[in-house]
Amino acid sequence: TVLAARLQQTEVAANAANPIRKVVNLLQDMQAKVTAEGKKEEDLYEKFMCYCKNSGGDLAASIEAAEVSVGTLGSDIKKGEEQKAQVDAALKQAQEDRDAAKKTMAEATAIREKEAAAYAADKAEYGANIDAITKAVAALEKGMAGSFLQTRPARA
C-alpha cells in the first residue's frame, strides 16, 4: 500500500508538473465527453427516425382515410340537404292542409250555427203552434160540446 501510495503521488506529481500531460488529459476527457454525447445523439436520432418511419405510415393512412371520407361526407351532406328540402316541402303542405282544414271547420261551424238558430226558431214556432192548437181544441171541446148533433155511434 505504501508503494501504491508512492506511485500515485509520483503520478499526480508527474501529471501536475508536466503541462503537456495536462493538455493530453484534458483532450482525453473532452474526447470521452464528445463520444458520450455523440452516442446519446445517435440514440436520439435512431429513435426519431423510428418515430418518423412509424408515424409517416400512420399519417399517410390517416390522410388517405380522411380524403376518402371527404367524398362520403360530401354525398352525405347532399343527401341531408335533399331530405331537408323534402321535409320542408312536406311541412309547407301540412301547414296548407291544416289551414284549409281550419277554414273548412270554420265554415262548417258557421253553417251548423245557422242551422241551430233556424232549428231553435222552428222549434219555438212549432211549440207555439202546438200550444195554440191544444188550447183551441180544448176551447172547442168545452164551448161546442152541445152544438153538434150527438148520435149513439158518435158517443161510443
Could you report the per-residue pLDDT of 34-55, keeping only the tens digit for each?
999 999 999 999 888 887 777 7
What pLDDT is stored for residue 52 in this prediction?
75
DSSP code at position 33: H
Q: Side-chain half-sphere of 131: how many Cα atoms within 13 Å?
A: 6
Q: Which of 50-54, 126-130, 142-146 has the lowest mean pLDDT?
A: 142-146
Q: Percent of the chain having pLDDT more than 90? A: 46
pTM of the model: 0.41
Report the alpha-carbon distance of residue 54 to residue 128 in Å, rounded: 105
Report the alpha-carbon distance of residue 134 to residue 127 in Å, rounded: 10
What pLDDT is stored for residue 122 in this prediction?
95
Checking if the pLDDT of 144 tops 70, the result is no
Cα–Cα distance list, 52 to 63, 87, 117 (Å)? 15, 50, 92
Q: Give 148's pLDDT tier (boundaries 50, 70, 90).
A: low
Report the alpha-carbon distance of residue 103 to residue 126 in Å, rounded: 34
